[in-house]
Amino acid sequence: MSGPPLRLPGEHFIAGLVFLVLGALGLVSVAPALSVGAYPAPTLVGVIHLFTLGWITTSIMGALYQFLPVALGQSIASERAAHVTFALYVSGVAALVAGMYLGRHTLLLVGVATLGVAIVMFLVNLGITLYRAERRELTWWAVCAAAVFLGITLVFGTALSLNLGNGFLGAAHDIALGTHIHVALFGWVLLVMVGVAHRLLPMFLLSHGGRTYFASYAVALLATGAGLLTVFHHVPILGREVPAFFLAAGVFAFLIQAREFYRKRHRPALDPGLHLAAFALGLLAVAIPLGALVLFGVASLNVRVAYVLTVLLACSLFVAAHYFKIVPFLIWNRHFGPLAGTRPLPRVGDLYSQRLANVAAACLALGAAMLAASVAAGSLVGVRVGAALFATGVVIEAGQMTAIARRRP
């Protein structure tokens, strides 16, 4: 069972990187809104969706097409449908974000509709693949649950988009927004991260002999939390404190699992990608106490925005870290692999500059930390510097990925 040709994951990774560059530049432009915690500002919401839909979800889709044959022994059911889905998805994200950023409601709704069709097509294709898979281990369960929550995220997102035109949600808007954000980040993105990391982190770190059951706890806790939030979001305790406890416990279990993988690694030196992944996990740990402040109502508007931004940046960096592992491997496999056994070949890590990758990782990590801290503190200068650092890291990483894609024997 082999993965799809380079084109399918490749087109997703290219689009994901374009969205990441736009999102990073967008962060610089919305620094004033971020520094005052003005989350509902349409321009800020547009930039945030460049990260959630454009960068993270596009990357997840591309990575799953490559990863499912390895993890589940099952290739995606229809590659052709996946290409069509990609075209619709990218168009949908572009229209949605442009509609939000420019304040054009009709364009936004066109984007939502296109995106909706694309996500449903993706879920059907993924669902058939998961149904056919014979290997039903933790990754299978994590991806199944995540797929359900992607669908739920779409439902809440569509409702919020329609609400912009007619305000039908009324006082329920804030609850719907909170549910949308948490189901998207914890139910969709983090569940995929836990499921994929359960296979990839030990593979990249060469971990052996550690405890692996924390990942099962993480999947169960995150799925339960996101499920309770979905069903009971309008109920005071069952829809707020209880799901929050499960989600925080799920994140904690994931962090313990990741720490176990890092501690039990056979690979002595960490490369830039694995350093950045470790930092992203550390940033995710910071989100737990921030979330507690928000939950117990003692957080200012700035801290609330900083909390969401911290989770978002942690997930973004975790994905960015894996690009340094996955993209050079795909290029090696395509262009260098056929020469195996005929002459000495470079390693995957030789396909890019370790020094520049370290600079990119440092800029991304410092920028993300400064962004989150400055938003919490309400410092416009800090937000601008943090966003600029982050954007610098993104541009360097995008340049490195372009250079990798051009490498030939």
* 19-27, 103-111, 203-211, 212-220 -> range binding other proteins (CB under 8 A): 203-211
**Smaller CB separation from other proteins, 204 or 254:** 204
For other proteins, the binding residues in 225-264 under the rule CB under 8 A are: none
**Smaller CB separation from other proteins, 225 or 272:** 272
Least Å distance, CB 349 to other proteins, is 6
**Smaller CB separation from other proteins, 65 or 307:** 65
Is residue 166 near other proteins by the rule CB under 8 A? no
Least Å distance, CB 206 to other proteins, is 4
User: How far is the CA of 44 from the CAs of 75, 134, 280, in angstroms?
Assistant: 37, 43, 22
Least Å distance, CB 327 to other proteins, is 12
Residue window 334-353: x/- pattern of binding to other proteins, with contact defined by CB under 8 A = --xxx-xxxxxxxxxx----
Is residue 136 near other proteins by the rule CB under 8 A? no
Residue window 3-22: x/- pattern of binding to other proteins, with contact defined by CB under 8 A = x-------------------
Least Å distance, CB 69 to other proteins, is 5
**Smaller CB separation from other proteins, 40 or 346:** 346
Q: Where along the sequence are the contacts to other proteins (CB under 8 A)?
A: 1-3, 66, 69-71, 73, 199, 203-204, 206-209, 266-269, 325, 329, 332-333, 336-338, 340-349
